[in-house]
Chains A and B, each alone.
Chain A
Amino acid sequence: MGTGTGGDDSLYPIAVLIDELRNEDVQLRLNSIKKLSTIALALGVERTRTELLPFLTDTIYDEDEVLLALAEQLGSFTVLVGGPEFVHCLLPPLESLATVEETVVRDKAVESLRKISQEHSPVDLEVHFVPLVKRLASGDWFTSRTSACGLFGVCYPRVSSTVKAEIRQHFRTLCSDDTPMVRRAASSKLGEFAKVLELDYVKSDIIPLFTALASDEQDSVRLLAVEAGVSIAALLPQEDLEDLVMPTLRQAAEDKSWRVRYMVADKFSELQKAVGPEITKNDLVPAFQNLLKDCEAEVRTAAANKVKGEVLPEDSRETIIMTHILPCVKELVSDTNQHVKSALASVIMGLSTILGKDNTVEHLLPLFLVQLKDEYPEVRLNIISNLDCVNEVIGIRQLSQSLLPAIVELAEDAKWRVRLAIIEYMPLLAGQLGVEFFDEKLNSLCMAWLIDHVYAIREAATCNLMKLVEKFGAEWAQNTIVPKVLGMANDSNYLHRMTTLFCINALSEVCGQEITTKHMLPVVLKMSTDQVANVRFNVARCLQKIGPVLDSSALQAEVKPVLEKLATDQDMDVKYFALEAISGMYLFNLPTYIFSETFSFSSILFFFFSFSLSP
């Protein structure tokens, strides 16, 4: 590619480009930096290497935003400097960027360094990259040492054993650095580094580091070690776990800082997988019990999310949950903190599949019922949203008597988001409770939502009706909901009349041609003379929507005259949508004069305005 640009070099003296990168205006400087690849391309690979990169390395003092863009660009600069053979000349500017204070810049520089490390040959890695890592690791200011932590892992697997030993030594030093920032960085990279080490070194090097970091004086270091512990446990053979990592993990679960305990609770599933079923059973279960009883709500919330215990050994899972976990769960149901209860509610139903029918009826059902009556709507919603798990085991009937008041209350909640959430579960509930129960208890709720004062609820309610008809069939629709929906066409509130149209839009297809033609169409046509323009143009839209369901005789005889009439309406939006419908259904030869562009554009705008204001 050098040849392609050779002739243009004189056109773009580096001074001009550098001027751009030095522009006084930060925004312009930023733009220039973001197009650094263009500049490099104009210069050609050689001048990029000999002139541009030294310039970038020297003038590293700039706004962090500019530096961030630079750090990112350099990560994909390899071809622009002449390919992998020359990739090492990107190291000096990135090295400076990796020592910057601003974390975002530094992290980006490290990311780019990790990326280009892969493009180094093993020799270049040892000659150029590893020395850089060592320099960073022994830098004076904490920033360079922090950055170094993220680079050991990428070079370790590809260097000779002597260099490997040096790298391990550097990592060890950083783990006991005297600034907590560096120890945090080391702690967060410990797991990653362990993964590339030989097993013997994991045992001899990593374990002591892990133990030390996990008992650091700063809780921010300790909590990062927990995550590392999970990775390390996964690397070790089963027989070593008990001696090498378990004491430390046990200690973390009882740490005096709630942040560390929270981390253990949060990583509990991963931890179980890493240590396997036996240790989980003997060791983690008691620890877990304590986490469920923790004095901080944050910890209990994190633990409550994990009560299902997926990794427990198959044969003893039920017993363990029954004897050890369930008693704690029972207490959590009446926790004072809503987040704890809500976390529990989202997983508690899952226990029923593990415990089986009898246990569910005897032990879990009472808990579900308590949570269904909880004062916080989120808790109740979480229970309802997971009803399918219980349905598989005991059938939802067991719950129906308590379910109903809970649903009714949520359906009438003052917060529309809560109402919206419960609507979304209606089809699921209807499917599980059966048509009879539904007609008797829930149908009226579903109809009430259609006249909710919040548009989002009305919209969700129409969609809900469609799903219900999909479940219960057209005949049910004709008997129960269609009459009520059509009845609203005579409502004095135009928003309710429009809801009729929206319902028809949603229902026509699932109800089929007969119901649509016989029952719905006449109502729609009648509404075409409504005095509110919004209703009239929605009639046009509705006709377009239900057109495909109707047969052609109905279209020609009934729909066509109405649309033609609407197309001459005084209101321009009504006209617009009538014409839209006509053209959309290929009903007629179109009168072209009406389609001037400005007209339709403004109509659309107007339509959106009127629509968004209407509820």
Chain B
Amino acid sequence: RVVSSPPALEMSAISASEKVDGFTRKSVRKAQRQRGCQGSSQFAASSSRPAAPEISALPQLKDASSTEQHELFMQKLQQCCVMFDFYDTVTDLKSKETKRATLSELVDYVSTNRGVLVEPVYPEITTMVSTNIFRTLPPSENPDFDPEEDEPTLEASWPHMQLVYEFFLRFLENPDFQPSTAKRYIDQKFVLQLLELFDTEDPREREFIKTVLHRIYGKFLGLRAFVRKQINNIFLRYIYETEHFNGVAELLEILGSIINGFALPLKAEHKQFLMKILIPMHTAKGLALFHAQLAYCVVQFIEKDPTLTEVVVRGLLKFWPKTCSQKEVMFLGEIEEILDVIEPTQFKKIQEPLFKQISKCVSSPHFQVAERALYYWNNEYILSLIEENNAKILPIMFGNLYRISKEHWNPTIVALVYNVLKTLMEMNSKLFDELTASYKCDRQREKKKEQEREELWRKLDELRLQETSAIQNNRHEIQFTYSNNNNNNNNLHDKDENPAAAITDRIESNTWAK
């Protein structure tokens, strides 16, 4: 890093501003700290950075007499509020080391000593922690940051920050810790700032915040509803507005254990959370990053209250991926997890729509999707459910399985399909024979139905053409031309004019139809 202005000049500018207004210093320091963790600019460093006041080591806590200890503890906490620029690897080395040593001494102090958490230290501790960890997260260095591909930007001041988190955790876990005292300082505002930090790119930091939030949720009953609501807001923003938040998986992990503790019957709030947030969350682009945690939450809900099975499965079917095979495999995995815990009565309620989807997946040209769906037949419990309801399921599955057994490009899939067909045949050979016999008829009936549809649309389009030419009203005309232009893909009217298009369309609709 190149420093562009002479250090002497820098120093004088700072001391002047410090004299004028104490707040300036604080705000500038805060800004500089932001940069510290990102280091996007040397410019700010050279012109507006205040020098951190040098801190010198205080005597060790363990050497102090018990009367002095408290005072010393407070002093050390205050000392740790001084912030350093970690992007600058040259300056303040001594002070940085002093702070590190002090922090680690504090960690020891609160974890090994009893009776040190007297009331006056609560505000000091909260201030120290807030000063060190709360900050506006910097813009990502890599604007197209892809958590699956790219290395995350790590927090530069981690050597201090880690100890601060560690200290805070030990504080929360200390047997003398009094939530009733702490709630004055660890309040809604504090929690809100903590939640914002979940967006940090540094996975180490997210791991700590996760544990911290979990402790806070456990100890502060008054904050629970608030925490849940704010997490909802973060998720809603993630799903519907920004599609970007680094800490989704960690938040879901916390929620997983929260759901576990929900009392029965479930409150409307919790059901709403499931249906309006967890299920739509499956549509997110970054699903792969938190799918395991998400599926865990969903299954927790179903285990708590089996009557939720139907809405959940229907919800998942509604959001079933149309184009992304990778996601489709994840959905199939989640459905299997649900089927593992499903109650047979619930299964009956969803078997038809569910197996229509599974039948589509089985015939997916993407072999991983087909394979994942066919693996259901290796699951004993699912197999028993299918067997129990074979009269319903067999007709849904048969058409596609039969076709795929002849057509699929991938030999593994064909082999799997033969096994599945064999299993189904053994379940109900009479029905199986009937279906085989009527297969051709069914195809023809479908084709005929398709033709009837086309005929209907052709007539409707003719009618529209008549209308448009009959009515000389400009507005109408503009409107219909507009909608005509809009709809000319797959437009049945176009098919008649263009035989080639009609053929491709027919092929398409054949693949669409089952």
Interface set of A (CB-CB < 8 Å, partner B) = 1, 4-5, 8, 11-12, 16, 20, 24-28, 31, 34-35, 37-39, 41-42, 63, 73, 76, 79, 101-103, 141-142, 179-181, 184, 217, 219-220, 254, 256-259, 293-298, 300, 331-332, 334-337
The segment from B32-40, B89-97, B168-176, B294-302 that touches chain A is: B32-40
- The interface centre, meaning the residue of A1, A20, A73, A296 with most chain B CB atoms within 10 A of its CB, is A296
Q: Does B461 contact A (CB under 8 A)?
A: yes
Contact A296 B138 (CB under 8 A): yes
The smallest beta-carbon distance between A475 and chain B, in angstroms, is 52
User: Which of B34, B241, B457 is within 8 Å of A258, CB to CB?
Assistant: B34
Can you name 28 A-B pairs with beta carbons within 8 Å? Answer: A1-B476, A4-B470, A5-B467, A12-B460, A20-B456, A35-B460, A35-B483, A38-B460, A38-B461, A41-B460, A101-B239, A102-B280, A103-B241, A217-B189, A217-B192, A219-B136, A254-B27, A256-B27, A257-B136, A258-B34, A258-B138, A293-B43, A293-B48, A295-B41, A295-B44, A296-B40, A336-B1, A336-B43
Complex CA gap A8/B30 in Å reads 74
The smallest beta-carbon distance between A178 and chain B, in angstroms, is 8
Contact B4 A296 (CB under 8 A): no
Q: For A4, what are the chain B residues with a Cβ–Cβ distance below 8 Å?
A: 466-467, 470-471
Q: Does B194 contact A (CB under 8 A)?
A: no
Contact A102 B240 (CB under 8 A): yes
Given contacts A11-B459, A35-B487, contact A258 B139 (CB under 8 A): yes
Contact A1 B139 (CB under 8 A): no
Contact B192 A38 (CB under 8 A): no
The smallest beta-carbon distance between B202 and chain A, in angstroms, is 18
Complex CA gap A254/B30 in Å reads 12
- Closest chain A residue to B46, Cβ basis: A331
Complex CA gap A259/B34 in Å reads 13
- Closest chain A residue to B36, Cβ basis: A295
Given A38-B457, A295-B35, 11 more A-B residue pairs with CB atoms under 8 Å apart are A1-B467, A35-B483, A41-B467, A101-B280, A103-B241, A141-B276, A180-B237, A217-B189, A220-B237, A259-B136, A337-B40
Q: For A219, what are the chain B residues with a Cβ–Cβ distance below 8 Å?
A: 136
User: Which of B30, B40, B482, B512 is within 8 Å of A297, CB to CB?
Assistant: B40
Given contacts A258-B34, A300-B41, contact A38 B464 (CB under 8 A): yes
Q: For A26, what are the chain B residues with a Cβ–Cβ distance below 8 Å?
A: 322
List of 5 A-B pairs having minimum Cβ-Cβ separation, nearest first: A295-B44, A295-B35, A297-B40, A257-B136, A103-B240
Given contacts A4-B467, A76-B479, A141-B276, contact A296 B35 (CB under 8 A): yes
- Closest chain A residue to B470, Cβ basis: A4
Contact A334 B483 (CB under 8 A): no
Contact A300 B43 (CB under 8 A): yes
User: Which of A39, A297, A298 is within 8 Å of B460, CB to CB?
Assistant: A39
Complex CA gap A259/B196 in Å reads 14
Interface 1/0 per residue, B51-95 and A, CB below 8 Å? 000000000000000000000000000000000000000000000
Given contacts A63-B318, A179-B233, contact A101 B276 (CB under 8 A): yes
Contact A331 B241 (CB under 8 A): no
Complex CA gap A103/B2 in Å reads 47
Complex CA gap A8/B471 in Å reads 16
Given contacts A16-B456, A217-B192, A258-B139, contact A295 B47 (CB under 8 A): no
Given contacts A101-B240, A217-B192, contact A79 B34 (CB under 8 A): no
Q: For A256, what are the chain B residues with a Cβ–Cβ distance below 8 Å?
A: 27, 30-31, 136
Q: Does B475 contact A (CB under 8 A)?
A: yes
Contact A181 B43 (CB under 8 A): no
Q: For B471, what are the chain A residues with a Cβ–Cβ distance below 8 Å?
A: 1, 4
Q: For B356, what are the chain A residues with a Cβ–Cβ distance below 8 Å?
A: 24
Complex CA gap A27/B508 in Å reads 10
Q: For A331, what are the chain B residues with a Cβ–Cβ distance below 8 Å?
A: 4, 43, 47
Given contacts A5-B463, A295-B40, A296-B35, contact A25 B482 (CB under 8 A): no
Contact A79 B40 (CB under 8 A): no
- The interface centre, meaning the residue of A16, A35, A181, A337 with most chain B CB atoms within 10 A of its CB, is A35
Contact A37 B483 (CB under 8 A): yes
Complex CA gap A25/B41 in Å reads 54
The smallest beta-carbon distance between A122 and chain B, in angstroms, is 22
Q: Kindly identify, within residues 1 to 46 of chain B, every residue whose CB is under 8 Å from any CB belonging to chain A.
A: 1-2, 4, 27, 30-32, 34-35, 38, 40-44
Q: For B467, what are the chain A residues with a Cβ–Cβ distance below 8 Å?
A: 1, 4-5, 41
Q: For A38, what are the chain B residues with a Cβ–Cβ distance below 8 Å?
A: 457, 460-461, 463-464, 483
- Closest chain A residue to B272, Cβ basis: A141
Interface 1/0 per residue, B313-338 and A, CB below 8 Å? 00000100010000000000000000
Contact B237 A181 (CB under 8 A): yes
Q: For A295, what are the chain B residues with a Cβ–Cβ distance below 8 Å?
A: 31-32, 34-35, 40-41, 43-44, 48
Contact B513 A25 (CB under 8 A): yes
The smallest beta-carbon distance between A280 and chain B, in angstroms, is 23
User: Which of A41, A103, A181 is within 8 Å of B233, CB to CB?
Assistant: A181
Task: Give the interface size bracket for B toward A.
Answer: 35 or more
Complex CA gap A294/B456 in Å reads 65
Contact A181 B453 (CB under 8 A): no
Contact B463 A8 (CB under 8 A): yes
Q: For B41, what are the chain A residues with a Cβ–Cβ distance below 8 Å?
A: 294-297, 300, 335-337
Complex CA gap A323/B42 in Å reads 23
Q: Kindly identify, within residues 229 to 254 of chain B, every residue whose CB is under 8 Å from any CB belonging to chain A.
A: 233, 236-237, 239-241
The smallest beta-carbon distance between A591 and chain B, in angstroms, is 33
Q: Does B346 contact A (CB under 8 A)?
A: no
Complex CA gap A337/B241 in Å reads 29
- Closest chain A residue to B509, Cβ basis: A28
Q: For A24, what are the chain B residues with a Cβ–Cβ distance below 8 Å?
A: 356
Given contacts A20-B453, A258-B139, A298-B139, contact A142 B236 (CB under 8 A): yes
Complex CA gap A243/B475 in Å reads 50
Q: For A42, what are the chain B residues with a Cβ–Cβ distance below 8 Å?
A: 460, 463-464
Contact A294 B44 (CB under 8 A): yes
Q: For B42, what are the chain A residues with a Cβ–Cβ distance below 8 Å?
A: 335-336
Q: For B192, what are the chain A residues with a Cβ–Cβ distance below 8 Å?
A: 217
User: Which of A37, A181, A296 is within 8 Å of B479, CB to CB?
Assistant: A37
Q: For A180, what are the chain B residues with a Cβ–Cβ distance below 8 Å?
A: 233, 237
Complex CA gap A375/B165 in Å reads 41
Q: Does B498 contact A (CB under 8 A)?
A: no
Interface 1/0 per residue, B461-481 and A, CB below 8 Å? 101101100110001100110
Q: For A141, what are the chain B residues with a Cβ–Cβ distance below 8 Å?
A: 276
- Closest chain A residue to B275, Cβ basis: A101
User: Which of A28, A35, A41, A336 is within 8 Å of B512, CB to CB?
Assistant: A28
- The interface centre, meaning the residue of A27, A35, A295, A300 with most chain B CB atoms within 10 A of its CB, is A295
The smallest beta-carbon distance between B508 and chain A, in angstroms, is 8
Q: Does B410 contact A (CB under 8 A)?
A: no
- Closest chain A residue to B459, Cβ basis: A11
- Closest chain A residue to B40, Cβ basis: A297
The smallest beta-carbon distance between B8 and chain A, in angstroms, is 18
Q: For B464, what are the chain A residues with a Cβ–Cβ distance below 8 Å?
A: 37-38, 41-42
Q: For A41, what are the chain B residues with a Cβ–Cβ distance below 8 Å?
A: 460, 463-464, 467
The smallest beta-carbon distance between B457 and chain A, in angstroms, is 8
Q: For B453, what are the chain A residues with a Cβ–Cβ distance below 8 Å?
A: 20, 28
The smallest beta-carbon distance between B449 and chain A, in angstroms, is 10
Q: Does B180 contact A (CB under 8 A)?
A: no
- Closest chain B residue to A220, Cβ basis: B237
- Closest chain B residue to A25, Cβ basis: B512
Q: Kindly identify, within residues 263 to 315 of chain B, every residue whose CB is under 8 Å from any CB belonging to chain A.
A: 276, 280
The smallest beta-carbon distance between A418 and chain B, in angstroms, is 21
Q: Does B412 contact A (CB under 8 A)?
A: no
Q: Kindly identify, within residues 498 to 514 of chain B, every residue whose CB is under 8 Å from any CB belonging to chain A.
A: 509, 512-513
Q: Does B486 contact A (CB under 8 A)?
A: yes
- Closest chain A residue to B28, Cβ basis: A295
Q: For B491, what are the chain A residues with a Cβ–Cβ distance below 8 Å?
A: 35
Q: Does B257 contact A (CB under 8 A)?
A: no
Complex CA gap A440/B403 in Å reads 74
Q: Does B490 contact A (CB under 8 A)?
A: yes
- The interface centre, meaning the residue of A76, A141, A298, A336 with most chain B CB atoms within 10 A of its CB, is A336
